[in-house]
Amino acid sequence: MLNYMKSEWYRIVHGKELYLITGILSAVVLAANVILYAMTFVEDAFPYASVRFSLSNLLYMMTMLFALGGVLVAILYADDRKNGTMKNAIVHGCSRTSLFIGKSLISVAAGLICMAAVLVVYIGSAALLLEGPAAEPAVELLMAVVAALPSVVAIVVLAVALDGFFSKTTTAIVAFVVIVFAIPQVLALIGLRYEPIAELASWFPAVLFGNDVGVWPLDFTMPWEQLLGWAKCMVVGFGWLAVFAVAGLWRARRVEL
């Protein structure tokens, strides 16, 4: 497995996929801050050219990290079957279980590097271009990212598992969207009428970090701001990580049979 991971990491580092998605995301957040800064020349009293407003945008779009986790896996391993990487690894004695674990670890590592680079550009450009103190909004954003990180890792592992389960990447993407977003949202809608279903839905990452986040500035509340809420974020993240990891390992072992 270590040899497989080394070869995959070499492929990713010397490929363009990781740099491409990191560059695109960095350009997007930089452009957003530049636009806010440019608006101050159009309107002197433009109220949104502040660090707090810029960084708070991600707080209300934390589920975007889940979608990007799936996109990252799809980009990194879209050509895995086409270029024969998986087949060659199996021929050389690497089990499908080892492939699943190796892919998961590599994907998480690549995702963390991408996230760190984009956050540096996001926070740094906001601090340089926009008004107001940067320390407090930056800490709030980083706390939110840490709270969501176990769930993001869990969803990356799910994406790897689905990529190994389905023979086509497009099918895996559809299944990913259904599991991560569609099912939780359906439960949340049913929960508007039935309270027990609403409680069940709140234990899904897409609902906890999406529907359960207040709307600024009317209801500036975050699930992770209180101790119990922080604990729930950890339980949800690590709980689904265990579920997806077990399911992925079970499927890998069944295929080997």
Contacts of 48 (CB under 8 A, 6+ apart): 36, 39
- Asked whether the beta carbons of 129 and 37 are under 8 A apart, the reply is yes
Q: How far, in Å, are 31, 126, 133, 183, 208 from residue 45 at the CA level?
A: 21, 18, 18, 43, 35
Q: Most distant CA pair in the chain: distance in Å?
A: 68
Name the residue with tokens 């963390």: 112
- Asked whether the beta carbons of 129 and 33 are under 8 A apart, the reply is yes
Distance CA 62, CA 48 (A): 20
pLDDT confidence of residue 59 = 85
Q: pLDDT tens string for the chain (257 positions)?
A: 777 788 888 888 888 999 999 999 999 999 999 999 999 888 878 888 999 999 988 888 899 999 999 999 999 887 665 555 565 555 555 677 888 898 999 999 999 999 999 999 999 999 999 998 999 999 999 999 999 999 999 999 999 999 888 878 888 899 999 999 999 999 999 999 999 999 999 999 999 998 766 554 445 568 888 888 899 999 999 999 999 999 999 888 775 54
- Asked whether the beta carbons of 205 and 154 are under 8 A apart, the reply is yes
pLDDT confidence of residue 257 = 44
Distance CA 4, CA 207 (A): 36
**Residue 72, phi then psi, degrees to nearest 5:** -60, -45
pLDDT confidence of residue 88 = 59
Q: What is the pLDDT of residues 81-135, one digit of tens each?
A: 555 556 555 555 567 788 889 899 999 999 999 999 999 999 999 999 999 899 9
